[in-house]
Structure 1
């Protein structure tokens, strides 16, 4: 399925039905009292955070979403039926903003969360509402109130606990394949990854975390170079960044330290908050470095980079060191998670079996 993380849609809730002017017609009674009913309310437009979705592709091609209007009131004290509601299913992590002003309106962060993005108009009053002691035969009625109409921008920021970043061909896709259930495309050339890949890493029974593999960054990414800048937003919700370094580049003239500093600079230019997130170094492809040279090469790299955080030495291809990395990441994520992030139960009205 095509990965789409932005879309613009128009939504319109239903208008309320009009009130009715009607009088009773009884035998031997030429003029009965008023019995015109109210109009029904218009249908609402809801949005539901669906954990089974991971793209906004449905809204790229279907942009207009309208709820039904309410039925008009009728005689014999009959109120109009409410218009049918519609429910838009969106991936968890979707931000809903006003397309004209850019103001953020809603944010779907919890699986099963339900929000009303456009409220249906109330129904109009029938003439039975205007009956009084001095107005026994009212002929007044009111029209239904109009529903809300909005132009909305949808933006998806994936909800992952851990984000992998690094230069193209650093081995991020191989790493996520080695530790999770994700199976991204892997090849021996740069920019194999064209969109974010999410994988669930299972550490033990009921112990897991989600990791996101993004397209490789290059110098100038924050200014639009390469592919990675299109997806940097997906790192903003992660709790931990794993900076994957290629310790055995094909071109011997490439300095891993220079590449690592370039990535850090791009993060800082793109978003200072993103730059300040916890970041660990993952030195990859050490299976391609002679065993007698590894310790010296790793020590020299860390010294020149002046990195003070955790450093992990791995080979994603042979899975050497991956188990230690996964356990350390899980302990860090588990320590940071709070009770407020617990999922809520989905409203039965918006379950998959619902016709709403």
Structure 2
């Protein structure tokens, strides 16, 4: 079961109390205080594990509490430390304060381990309080209480390319055609009910991560459909690929503009991502018809393809796949990087798309490093 949000109450353990004890032994007069210290309470840790891709293991666990420290004993015996709790979460998990909505931790690195709640300190036994003026102390410290906090865990997928489009435009078919992901594919809308991640191989040694989310429809930013609930999963993506269906009853320009509007309404930061456009289901048309539809779409959205192509430098790596330019330059903000007609079924331009997206992601990464 895919679960990307859970609410929890977490508590660290209470420290054990110090002991009040006096050494009593045959032939030993006035042995003195010998109460041991209490053990420290268990702490709460979060660990990031790549082998975890959902928060379902935490669903239904309303209160998770670390073990209390054991109290001290006589003969200066220290109490045992309480066992700590380690909560394993997938990469991209945010720990949010349930009361203030403040993001406390953003866990993205594999193997990252953070101390979230520290256990209470154990109390000192009465042996620490003996003085020349108080040779028989009858006082020991109680253990310090643990910390309790209400939190919300929000998981956001980490990917290089996020697929955005209407339902049934071919997002799941595309990610299954060019990556190792195997999502459910069917001929009805909202087939995809949960996000899917896929690794796209480019050559033998290069790869990038692609994320597919449920379709976005008009009014998604107001709560219609499933898109709003899962748009957070592409907030971390470096780039976006907008899929426009050439065989859909909605006009391609209408699909394109609606997607941009819904992204803007959801998050201005997400709408500012670099993006490209793929025209899907081109196997439904002849070559001449595909060329005509593509040219018409480019004209409708005002995409100056000549201006954009003139920015790029020649690179042989792309020429065999229909591209004569690379992407190592500043990218346009208000228009797509490229518009490419594809068919995931007949594999029309899917190889070209694979290499184009890799270059796209690489150029964005280089820009981020320079910034």
TM-score (norm 1): 0.91
C-alpha displacement of 1:156: 0.9
Is the counterpart of residue 292 in structure 1 residue 297 in structure 2? no
Q: What SS is found at the alignment partner of 2:39?
A: coil
User: Which residue of the partner structure matches residue 327 of structure 2?
Assistant: none
How far apart in 1 are the matches of 2:225 and 2:109? 32
How far apart in 2 are the matches of 1:335 and 1:20? 64
User: Which residue of the partner structure matches residue 71 of structure 1?
Assistant: 70
How far apart in 2 are the matches of 1:3 and 1:228? 16
How far apart in 2 are the matches of 1:302 and 1:38? 76
User: CA RMSD, aligned part only?
Assistant: 1.6
C-alpha displacement of 1:204: 3.3
Is the counterpart of residue 312 in structure 1 residue 340 in structure 2? yes
C-alpha displacement of 1:147: 0.6
User: Which residue of the partner structure matches residue 331 of structure 2?
Assistant: none
1:61-116 per-residue CA deviation (whole Å, 9 max, x = no partner) reads 22221111001011111111100011111111111111122121111111111112
What count of residue pairs does the alignment treat as equivalent? 336
How far apart in 2 are the matches of 1:174 and 1:156? 24
C-alpha displacement of 1:45: 0.9
User: Which residue of the partner structure matches residue 301 of structure 1?
Assistant: 297
How far apart in 1 are the matches of 2:151 and 2:184? 33
User: Which residue of the partner structure matches residue 321 of structure 1?
Assistant: 349
User: Which residue of the partner structure matches residue 344 of structure 1?
Assistant: none
CA contact (8 A) 2:38 2:122 kept: yes
C-alpha displacement of 1:277: 0.3
User: Which residue of the partner structure matches residue 9 of structure 2?
Assistant: 10
C-alpha displacement of 1:231: 0.4
Is the counterpart of residue 272 in structure 1 residue 268 in structure 2? yes
Q: What SS is found at the alignment partner of 2:230?
A: helix
CA contact (8 A) 2:22 2:35 kept: yes
How far apart in 2 are the matches of 1:333 and 1:63? 40
User: Which residue of the partner structure matches residue 281 of structure 1?
Assistant: 277
How far apart in 1 are the matches of 2:62 and 2:141? 32
How far apart in 2 are the matches of 1:324 and 1:133? 86
How far apart in 2 are the matches of 1:248 and 1:95? 39
Structure with the bigger RCO (C-alpha within 8 Å, sep 6+) is: 1
C-alpha displacement of 1:28: 2.2
Listed as ranges, the gaps of 5+ residues in structure 2 are: 304-334
Q: What SS is found at the alignment partner of 1:61?
A: coil
